Amino acid sequence: METIQNRRQDQRIPAEGLAIRVKKAGLGSVWHDFELCTTVDFSLNGLAFVSLGTDFKVPEKVEFILNIADHEIKGSGIVCHRHLSEHGFQFGLMFLSVSPEISSLVEDDTPSRQVSKIKAELCAEQMAYKLWESHGQPAPWQRLKAQELVDVVRSYLNRLGELGIKLQSGDDTAAILPIQAVRLYRQADEGLLLCWKTPVGEQSIAVKLQKRQFPAAFLVNDQTVCQTPLQVAELLGEQLMPVLRVS
């Protein structure tokens, strides 16, 4: 307990809002097994993060992937603190193992500078959004967001194929590459319809760009809100899972 208390007194670098992926240790090993969370702060010995989904327990072992600037930090840790905040459950994590470059990132204050850059860009986008709205015109980046969605989904499907994954659309048909199996249709109002065949019939996902929301978000099948194109791609992957095969 003394060790944990001492580590809580380490110099902590504010890093509110950076994306971090966390999963319970031993449960799965692929990208979609990790839950997308957000950081609060961290030090050489641990970090704090917020989860809107999984309620991790104390003392539970977890694994994480944290992207800061051009660095991917991987590691594992023990949940040593838990409380309910206004943004969801907040957890304190004490590192068991972590990528060596964590020390240089903490020392040169990279996380704080990265967060400041993200916040500055969001403030600028929000100001531009208000100005475009006041002139009764759609913000110009909304079309870019729609194109980014198409690019991300195509890249996701292409990469699955490169990793030897194929889609089995029927019991009597040969498995084909995901990029060939999933058809993308651009819809009016910057929407996107994704369709694919399965042994039990055709399935689809309809994605709409929520233009009246800042920052721009995507509404999937009129019920699930995704904040980024990558989240849409991950949701597509979950829907495809029953018909994906390793070739």
For residue 188, the 8-state DSSP code is G
Using DSSP, how many helices (H) and how many strands (E) does the chain show?
A: 6, 14
Cα R_g (the chain), whole angstroms = 21
116, 15 contact by CB (below 8 A): no
Quick one: pLDDT at residue 182?
A: 92
Contacts of 70 (CB under 8 A, 6+ apart): none
For residue 207, the cross-strand partners are 192, 220
Copy the structure tokens of residue 74: 């991987």
Quick one: pLDDT at residue 2?
A: 41
Residue 87 main-chain phi, psi, to 5 deg: -100, 0
The tens digit of pLDDT for each residue in 225-247 reads 887 888 888 889 988 998 898 87
Quick one: pLDDT at residue 80?
A: 92
Q: Does residue 107 register a pLDDT over 70? A: no
Alpha-carbon gap, residue 13 to 39, rounded angstroms: 11
Quick one: pLDDT at residue 170?
A: 75
The tens digit of pLDDT for each residue in 161-209 reads 988 999 987 766 788 899 899 998 887 666 789 998 888 788 898 998 8
Alpha-carbon gap, residue 209 to 232, rounded angstroms: 11
Higher pLDDT pick, 233 / 34: 233
Quote the crossing angle between the two packed helices 141-162 and 229-240, to the nearest 10°.
Answer: 40
Reported as type and span, the H/E element at residue 186 is strand 183-187
74, 65 contact by CB (below 8 A): yes
